[in-house]
Structure 1
Amino acid sequence: MFDNKKHFTTAIVGALVAFSVIALVLSLVKIEDVTLPPVVKYGMVFDAGSSHTSLFVYEWDSDKENDTGVVSQTLSCDVQGQGISSYANDPPKAGDSLRECLDKALKVIPAAKQRDAPAYLGATAGMRLLREQNSSAADHILATVAKTMRQYPVAFKGARILTGEEEGAYGWITINYLLDSFMKYSPKTHTWVHPEAANIFGALDLGGASTQISFMPEGSVTNWNEASEFMLYGFNYNIYTHSYLCYGQNEMLKRLAKELIAESSSSMHVDHPCYPKDYNETVLLSSFRTSPCTNQSDPRLTLDNKNVTLQGRGDASGCLTAVRKLFNFSACGQSQDCTFDGVYQPPVRGQFIAFSAFYYNFKFLNLTEGQSLATVRENIKHFCTRSWEDLSSSYPEENPERLPKYCANANYILTLLLDAYKFNETSWNNIFFQMKAGSADVGWTLGYMLNLTNMIPAEAPARLKGHVPSLWAVAVAFIILTLSLGLAALLVLLWV
């Protein structure tokens, strides 16, 4: 009898111990280790800018949707030719221009994923200007690009013209999403936390036809015409954003040339202080009529078919003076919350990412490494005094149409950032000139796709997958109790 009881009790204790070991092993297996492999999704956005069009393809794990930092850039493709607004007289060519990049996109997106991949086209300032000048031509171009995109096995979601404020706001979302500024994971608390508002980056974008500034000011934006509100990850963001049409660098150069010609007493040869010495450029006056930024009537100038030669003078200070005349600073009076043309802006705050033409111009001039403002000014001044022969021999691989423009572009950037946006010697160090953040290009396209696909939820993200601390504690307590009961049963057996 005793042996039978002993064997029976031993079996029970053994079973309990075995069960406890199994429970312990299972409790150590994280949920991530047993889930099915993630399903990768894809999306694409065409950035149809004023001077060119680019396609960006993104991918992300579907089991991490509505989480942070999960979207990566798979492909960027530059469309050959100028921006789609240049096809106003031949709209079908706008659609055809996209085909090469669409074909490349289908090579990186698996065939089984293509029909579920959302595809967008967003047009910016070039098309905004064309819509002002010829709305039917703008509509026709959008229709032709939409027709082309529908011919491909993707989930086409539309082609539209973004407002300037949308362009600025989506660029701001892209930057802060890529830099994890909206949410950061805290290993200490095992939760997502909101960084301090002061750690949110501002966005500075300079295109061919417009420029945008977007940032979180101190306090709320008092002028609601310049405000954008977003509820992201359970937190409300009230940002200031403004877009200046006709203040992109290409339109600025046209406006500068027109103003210099209008001010000149000569009708055939005009000095251009920003162009290198001994560089000449011929301009057809009637070409100013092609853009709403320069087609306004001017009593000093007749926009006929006459040619005018712009003669470079390499005058650094004269260039800066000429560029400043393009801004109406007097419209702000004594107001400190004003940039130019009477536009409201609260004081800049925090760190900024300056991208697009801000970056490309300063990268060429080797000014993207955090140099002081004094160094930046001195380098630009020196560059502006170099002759055309010197520049063309020093930069043989640079586009000869772009090379003579860097002096004007650099002085324009200084004027815009310092005189208009009111950065100063100290806050200048808070501007970072870069074109990439994390794994993707900086721009409005990623923020646009994230917004339209609801990849950034309004609610805060749930706790990470894995063990919930309370359940883990219960599991440990259960194992200890099981082992204790087994040991007690063994002691009873030995006592009897």
Structure 2
Amino acid sequence: MPRARGRRLLSWLLLQLCSAQDAAGPGELRHGLVFDAGSSGTRVHVYSWKIGGGGSKDSFDLIADDLLKIKPGLSSFKGEPEQAGASLRPLLAYAKEKVPAAAVPSTPVFLMATAGLRLVGEGAKDAILASVCDELGKSGFRFRCEWATLLGGEDEGLYGWVTVNYLLGALYPPAKTPAVGTIDLGGGSVQVVFATSEPVPNPDESQLLTFGARQHSLYVKSHLGYGLDEARRKALDSLVSRRAEDKPEPFRHPCLPRGASLEHGGKSLVGDADWARCLRVMGRLFPQPFAAGQPKLADRFYGFSYMYDRTAAIGLLDGQPRQFGSVAMSYNDIAAAGESLCRLSAEETATRFANTQDAAKSNNYCGDVAYVAALLKALGFEGDTSITMTNKIEKVELVWTLGAMLAKSAELLADTGSGGLGAGSVIGGLVALGLAAAALKLLSQRRSYSKLLPSSRRDFN
């Protein structure tokens, strides 16, 4: 039931982004804000779009997705939840720079929190959302408290899948390419979504989407607590707890490069990196079987968020760090490169990865790469199965908010004049009606990044 309620709210969410501004005529610029509140930071997407001209509502033109990101995340206010709302003020100020003043009162604002806020406990979560409600309510934008909520992991994964396959041209008939599966590795959770012809034992992990005359029967699974940030914490907990009481400190950490050290749980750990031992530590984080009830994997997969950031982005295979792009690799490729990576000392690691976006965190790279490898193994990937690691397709960054916007704006087309959502499958049914007629075009994609604030997407999942 909680998942169903969350999905109904999401189905209504971006419908409101459009319907709240129905007074604007066709072809006029419209705006909406979506706050993506992740485990270690919050980003605001300021969407601007036009409904097709000539009185027609059968086209949706995305003009811009202006983006700003800040740290820390809402979950960091667990001990002082009343301060959570104030943390959004820089994002609200940024949004007011992008939305014309006359449009602010009619521009809807929605905040969806992902894995991090699901982990703080019910009481802290409610208090944080209450603070957010108060701050957004006095922002001048159009807002209701029920528009600040938790986004279910399955919904996050589903919309990520829609984003990727829309940009690849795999959703609509005639499809340019078969649909691909997706792995979205965030900080607090990992989402796995792919099309399957097999029955899915758990109905909560099954979703049917229809785009035009093409149906996609999907397996949708969110593994809460198996994001990369959580994995690092669990690995440290495991290392400390497995040491005998009488074993002298400092403890040796097989995922930390030689010459590095850290404190955890009041204990000192020093680097003694070794790929095989590190991989065992990460592998022990997964219960066996981890992927129970999962159908046979799809033939093609795209990995993004941390899947990209800890492989292609750092130049794992070729030594060429990159901000954007796509690199195909297999478990075997990752393991071979990871073994070489873990041989480096802390000094050598810092030198090799000095030009990566996360250079300050390079001491984590050995363990992070080992976790990506262990995750693939736990999900059942064969050693030579190729996975495309990417963060952009057709010059558009891969974020679940885009998939949500595509689906929800299409629901508006299907639901025009009804005054509410239709019955039946909220996502599947409405997308079936709406997206068949929608000529969705990405006319231009402009990004606005602050040079003074963190600009790395992977830290915010």
For 1:223, the equivalent position in structure 2 comes to 202
2:436 is aligned with 1:461: yes
Match of 2:34 in 1: 45
SS of aligned partner of 2:286 = coil
Which of 436, 443, 463 is the aligned partner of 2:399?
443
Matched, 1:195 2:184: no
Q: Tell me the residue number matched to 2:65.
A: 74
Q: Name the amino acid aligned to 1:252.
A: A
Residue 152 of structure 1: SS of its match in structure 2? coil
Q: Is residue 113 of structure 1 aligned with residue 103 of structure 2?
A: yes
Instruction: State the secondary structure of the residue aligned to 2:232.
Output: helix
Q: In the alignment, is residue 387 of structure 1 matched against residue 367 of structure 2? A: no
TM-score, normalised with respect to structure 1: 0.71
**TM-fit CA distance, 1:253:** 0.8
Judging by fraction of residues, say which structure has more helix: 1
Whole-Å Cα distance in 1 between the matches of residues 143 and 392 of structure 2?
A: 27
Q: Compare 309-318 and 442-451 and name the one that shifted more.
A: 442-451
Partner of 1:139: 126
Letter in 2 for 1:356: S
> Does the Cα contact within 8 Å between 1:221 and 1:238 map onto a contact in 2?
no
AA in 2 matched with 1:376: I
Give the CA deviation at 1:66: 6.7
User: By how many angstroms is 1:228 displaced?
Assistant: 2.0
* Equivalences for residues 205-244 of structure 1 within 5 A: 205-233=184-212, 235-244=214-223
Q: TM-score of the superposition, structure 2-length normalised?
A: 0.76
Change (3 A) 1:71 1:202: farther
For the residue of structure 2 that corresponds to 1:257, the secondary structure is: helix
Q: Which residue of 2 aligns with 1:170?
A: 159
The answer to whether the 8 Å contact 1:66/1:461 transfers is no
Counterpart-to-counterpart distance in 2, 1:66 and 1:207: 36
Q: Contact (CA 8 Å) 1:73, 1:440: kept in 2 or not?
A: no
Q: Which runs of 5+ in 1 are unaligned?
A: 1-35, 184-192, 285-306, 333-339, 465-496
| Amino-acid identity (%) | 30
1:102 equivalent to 2:99? Answer: no
1:356, distance to aligned residue in structure 2 (A): 1.0
Structure 2 gaps of 5+ residues are: 1-24, 318-325, 414-430, 440-461
Q: More deviation in 224-233 or 96-105? A: 224-233
The verdict on how the C-alpha distance between 1:310 and 1:72 changes in structure 2, with shifts beyond 3 A counting, is farther
Say if 1:394 and 1:350 are closer, same or farther in 2 by CA, change over 3 A.
Answer: closer
Checking the alignment, whether the CA contact within 8 Å between 2:258 and 2:273 is kept in structure 1 is: yes
The 8 Å contact of residues 282 and 310 in structure 1, kept in 2 or not, is answered as: yes
Structure 1 pair 438–99 and aligned structure 2 pair: CA distance change class (3 A): farther
- Which residue matches 2:149? 160
Determine the C-alpha separation between the residues in 1 that align with 2:308 and 2:270.
Answer: 28
C-alpha distance in 2 between matches for 1:359 and 1:395:
15
Q: Distance in 1 between matches of 2:166 and 2:105?
A: 26
1:476 aligns to what?
none
Work out which of the residue numbers 328, 331, 345 in structure 1 matches 2:294.
Answer: 345
1:433 maps to which residue? 389
Supply the distance in 1 between the matched residues of 2:167 and 2:273 (Cα, whole angstroms).
40
SS in 1 for 2:310: helix
The question of whether the paired residues in 1 share the 8 Å contact of 2:210 and 2:432 is answered with: yes
The residue identity in structure 2 corresponding to 1:437 is I
Q: 1:312 to 1:436 in 2, by over 3 A?
A: same
Distance 1:72 1:319 in 2: 46
Deviations 1:123-175 (A, max 9, x none): 11111111xx3x12211111211222222333335110112111111211222
Q: Distance in 2 between matches of 1:62 and 1:170?
A: 21
Note the aligned Cα RMSD (angstroms): 2.6
The answer as to whether partners of 2:262 and 2:270 remain within 8 angstroms in 1 is yes
